[in-house]
Amino acid sequence: MNDLAAFILAGGKGERLSILTSYRAKPAVPFAGTYRIIDFTLTNCVKSGISTVFILTQYISRSLVRHLGIGKPWDLDRRKGGLALLHPRLGYRGADWYQGTGDAMYQNISVLEELDYENILILSGDHVYREDYSRFLKVHVDSGAKASVGVVNVPDELISQCGIATVDSNGTVKLFEEKPDRSDSNLASMGIYLFDRKFLISILKKLKRKFNDLDFGNHIIPYLTSNRELAAYRFDGYWLDIGTVKSYFQASQELLDPNSGFNLYSNSNIFTVSNENFPTVVEQGASVNNSMICSGCVIKGEVSSSIISPGVEIEEGASVENSIIFHRCRIGRNTRIKNTIIDKGCNIGEETVIGYGDKGVVNILQPSYLNSGITLIGRKTMIPAGIKIGTNCLLSASPRDNLIDHKDYKDGDYFMPEEKES
C-alpha cells in the first residue's frame, strides 16, 4: 500500500510475563517454537503490502534487534522504505526514555513529518493474529474519520484486562473505558490505530503539552472519543494479546487445537528468521502425541500436548506433558514435566519431577502472575537431578553458576538470583 506506513510499538517491559521478559523485550519472546511474537505483526504488514515499517524499541532490545536484523526474512531489506528501528535518543534536546506509547510517537515526530504517506498505521508488537490491513484502510477511508481503532469481541472475563469501546450505529466510538470492572460492551481495543498523518501530528503536539507520559489508551483514544473523532474497525478473526503468563500459555496450547480458530498450517505462512538445524529425530520407543516438534530435536521419551522448540533433547524415560520447552534445552532420563514453561538453554537433571501439585497455591513472590497452575524455569537454569518442583513455582538460576539450590520446591515456591546476568 503506497499510502500507508506502519509503526510497531515494541518497547514495553511486559512484566506480567515474569522471567520470560527478564532478559528480552516482550515482542522477542519465542512463540510456537520457531517464531517470536513480533513475527505475526511483521508478517501482517508484509502481506498487506506495507513496505515501510518503523519499530520503536526500548526495554532490553538486544535480542529483538538481533532477531530483526535488516528485515530480510520479511522482505524489508530495501533501499526505499524497508525496516527501520527507532530507539530512544538520550542526550538530544527534549528527548528521553519513552514515557508512554503516545510519547514514543511524539519523540519521533520528525520522522512522521518527513514521510510522504497520507496514512499511518500504529501497531503493537505483542499480539498474535492474522490480518490484511488493506481492509482496515478501506473501512477507515470510507468512514471519513481521521482516526480509527481496531476492536474485537472478547469474553466477559477479559473485559477488566482490556480497553473497552462502545460503538454507535454509525461506527463511531462514543465511549472508551480503560480496563473497567464491568461494561455493557465486549468490544476490546486491539491496540492498532489508523491515523491521517497530519492529524496524528497535530494530536501528538496538542496532547503532549498536557501529558508528559502521553499514552494512546489513557489519553489519546479517550480524547478522540470525547470529541467523536474516532471510528471503529471490527475485526472478526482470532486475536490474543500475549500480556500474561496465562494468556501466553493459552495461546500456545490453542495452536494444538484444530478448533481454536488459529491455524499455523494454512497457506498463509508466518515469516521469521530461519533455523539451520538438522531434521528432528524421534527414536524407536519414543512417543509423540498432539504436539509441535521443531527442527533439530532428539526425542527419546514421551511428549504430549506440548510445544518443543528447536534443538531440544528429551532423554529415554522422560515425559513432557502440556508444556512449552524453549530452544536448546535438555530433559534428563526418567524426568516428568507437566504444565511448565522452560526457557532457553536449560538442563533438567535425571529423575526430576516438575509441575505436579495443587494449582490453587499461588506463587509466593509473584502471586498475580503465577496463579493458574503454570511453573516457570528461567533461562540457562540447571535443575539438579532427583528433586521435586511443584506447580506455580518460579525458578531462575544464579548468574554465577546457573544452579538452583539442591532441594525440593513445594507449590508456589521460588528461587531467584540475587543479581541479574549482565
Contacts of 257 (CB under 8 A, 6+ apart): none
Q: What is the pLDDT of residue 400?
A: 73
Q: Is residue 252, in this structure, part of any structural domain at all? A: no
- Are residues 404 and 279 part of one domain? yes
Alpha carbon of residue 331 to chain centroid: 26
- Are residues 121 and 52 part of one domain? yes
Query: Final residue of a domain: which of 244, 259, 294?
Result: 244
Q: What is the pLDDT of residue 261?
A: 74
Q: What is the pLDDT of residue 319?
A: 98
Q: Is residue 266, in this structure, part of any structural domain at all? A: no
Q: How far lies 130's CA from each of 7, 235, 248, 261, 355, in Å?
A: 17, 10, 17, 11, 32
Q: What is the pLDDT of residue 340?
A: 98
Q: Print the domain residue range for 341.
A: 275-422
Q: Is residue 259, in this structure, part of any structural domain at all? A: no
Contacts of 34 (CB under 8 A, 6+ apart): 272, 275, 294, 295, 309, 310
Distance CA 270, CA 99 (A): 31
**Residue 149: CATH number of its domain:** 3.90.550.10
C-alpha cell at 229: 473523532
Is residue 409 within 8 A of residue 390, CB to CB? The reply is: yes
**Residue 321: CATH number of its domain:** 2.160.10.10
- Are residues 222 and 80 part of one domain? yes
- Are residues 185 and 308 part of one domain? no
Q: Is residue 256, in this structure, part of any structural domain at all? A: no
* Beta-carbon count within 10 A of 285 CB: 10
Q: What is the pLDDT of residue 422?
A: 31
State how many domains the chain has.
Answer: 2
Q: Is residue 162, in this structure, part of any structural domain at all? A: yes
Provide the 8-state DSSP code for 266. S
- Are residues 293 and 225 part of one domain? no
Q: Is residue 367, in this structure, part of any structural domain at all? A: yes
C-alpha cell at 290: 498432539
- Are residues 311 and 197 part of one domain? no
Contacts of 280 (CB under 8 A, 6+ apart): 293, 294, 295, 296, 297, 298, 299
Q: What is the pLDDT of residue 160?
A: 86
C-alpha cell at 257: 487445537
Query: Final residue of a domain: which of 201, 228, 244?
Result: 244
Is residue 371 within 8 A of residue 354, CB to CB? The reply is: no
Distance CA 122, CA 104 (A): 11
Please state whether the predicted TM-score (pTM) of the whole model is above 0.85. Answer: yes
- Are residues 182 and 121 part of one domain? yes
Contacts of 298 (CB under 8 A, 6+ apart): 280, 281, 283, 312, 313, 314
Q: Is residue 30, in this structure, part of any structural domain at all? A: yes
**pLDDT per residue rounded down to tens, the chain (422 residues):** 568 999 999 877 778 899 998 888 889 999 999 999 999 999 999 999 999 999 998 888 888 888 989 899 988 988 888 999 988 765 455 556 778 889 899 989 999 999 999 999 999 988 888 899 999 999 999 999 999 999 999 988 888 888 899 999 899 999 998 889 888 899 999 989 999 999 999 999 999 999 989 999 889 999 999 999 999 999 988 888 888 899 899 889 988 988 877 777 765 688 998 877 899 999 999 999 999 999 999 999 999 999 999 999 999 999 999 999 999 999 999 999 999 999 999 999 999 999 999 999 999 999 999 999 999 999 999 999 999 999 999 999 876 778 899 999 999 999 997 644 33
Q: Is residue 263, in this structure, part of any structural domain at all? A: no
The DSSP element (H or E) to which 298 belongs, if any, is strand 298-299
Q: What is the pLDDT of residue 421?
A: 37
- Are residues 353 and 296 part of one domain? yes
